[in-house]
């Protein structure tokens, strides 16, 4: 590429950056609920991993669809569930005893959590309507007592945190689970299946069954996911739901949150660019697709994206 063409491309991109920023400001004025959610989400995930509150982040995601939800109410609901677990274990409330006594047996704690969440409250996997977006909104999971593996795992992790036991999220292929370390080794818990406990060997057998033994097993699948990857997986579930419904307006809001969360993931810029195209937001589509090619210059779909960019420029030229 000649120097003149490179300069022209840079100037074009700067111009569209400015246009994109202006159009976003017009579309989401600073006093809208959606813009406030974006800012609150960005502030929350800017913290160190250990300081990111997953329950708050999940409720912020839900507030995109339910802007009037009372986050404090749902956090208090989690506190109340944890207190019931502590009552079964004959433990004082957290304001008196901040953490579990050393003699506490993890399996007894897990049994008490399962009793409260699955036997008494009736939380369960929503197998009949798995792809309903409400299964990915944490407020609706708490309201309806149904969800998908990742949101029910979040419930399990958050109640465990309040009780004082470490429960880690484990992003196994096709099925999110949680893990608890025992003196004799880790156990894996399937919150979607009522707290079913599995060994690592059993998890590996399940993966082989789900993939028909076509996937090479990887050790990193069994490592705890960090909060940002956890939230990205939640958001991607929602994005897929809206894509299936061809609901591009809602899909765009989720894509915005994903890019706030993981701006270094090239595919998210591409996906949002395609959504903007569907919604005829041509200047924003152009900028996102150019950003994608900047981040992934050797992308397999480069030719296809360049064709999209050419089409967008032609449309914009006709509109001027």
For the chain, the structural domain boundaries read 1-27+264-320, 31-263
* 14 three-state secondary structure: helix
Distance CA 177, CA 35 (A): 32
**Prediction pTM value:** 0.86
The DSSP secondary-structure symbol of 120 reads I
**What is the structure's pLDDT at 95?**
64
**What is the structure's pLDDT at 308?**
96
- What does the pLDDT look like over 145-175, one tens digit per residue? 999 999 999 999 999 999 999 999 999 988 9
CA-based torsion, 159, 161, 166, 171: positive or negative: positive
> Which parts of the chain have pLDDT scores under 70?
1-31, 94-99
The DSSP secondary-structure symbol of 116 reads I
**What is the structure's pLDDT at 30?**
64
Q: DSSP string spanning 137-149?
A: -HHHHHHHSEE-H
Cα of 175 vs its chain's centroid, Å: 14
**What is the structure's pLDDT at 3?**
36
Burial label for 280, CB within 10 Å (0-12, 13-18, 19+), is exposed
**What is the structure's pLDDT at 94?**
65
**What is the structure's pLDDT at 11?**
41
**What is the structure's pLDDT at 12?**
45
One CATH from 2.60.40, 1.10.287, 1.25.40, 1.20.1740 for 1-27+264-320: 1.25.40
For residue 270, give the nearest of 251, 291, 256, 297 by alpha carbon. Answer: 291
């Amino acid at each position: 590429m000649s120097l003149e063409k490179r300069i022209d491309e840079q100037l074009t991109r700067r111009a569209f950056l400015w246009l994109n920023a202006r159009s976003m400001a017009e579309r989401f004025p600073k006093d809208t609920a959606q813009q406030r959610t974006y800012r609150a989400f960005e502030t929350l995930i800017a913290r160190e991993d250990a300081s990111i509150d997953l329950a708050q982040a999940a409720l912020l995601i839900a507030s995109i669809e339910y802007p009037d939800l009372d986050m404090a109410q749902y956090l208090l609901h989690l506190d109340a569930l944890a207190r019931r677990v502590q009552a079964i274990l004959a433990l004082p409330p957290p304001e008196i005893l901040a953490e579990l006594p050393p003699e506490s047996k993890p399996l007894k704690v897990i049994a008490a959590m399962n009793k409260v969440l699955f036997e008494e409250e009736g939380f369960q996997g929503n197998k009949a309507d798995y792809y309903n977006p409400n299964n990915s909104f944490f407020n609706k999971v708490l309201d309806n007592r149904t969800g998908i593996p990742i949101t029910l795992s979040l419930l399990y992790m958050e109640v465990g945190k309040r009780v004082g036991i470490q429960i880690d999220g484990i992003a196994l292929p096709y099925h999110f689970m949680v893990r608890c370390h025992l003196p004799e080794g880790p156990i894996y818990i399937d919150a979607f299946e009522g707290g079913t406990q599995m060994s690592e060997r059993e998890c590996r057998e399940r993966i082989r069954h789900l993939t028909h033994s076509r996937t090479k097993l990887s050790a990193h699948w069994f490592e705890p996911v960090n909060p940002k990857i956890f939230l990205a997986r939640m958001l991607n579930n929602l994005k897929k739901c809206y894509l299936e419904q061809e609901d591009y307006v809602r899909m765009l809001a989720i894509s915005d949150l994903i890019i706030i969360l993981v701006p270094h993931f090239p595919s998210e810029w591409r996906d949002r660019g395609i959504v903007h195209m569907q919604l005829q937001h041509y200047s924003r589509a152009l900028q996102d697709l150019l950003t994608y090619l900047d981040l992934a210059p050797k992308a397999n779909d480069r030719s296809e994206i360049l064709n999209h960019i050419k089409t967008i420029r032609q449309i914009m030229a006709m509109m001027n």
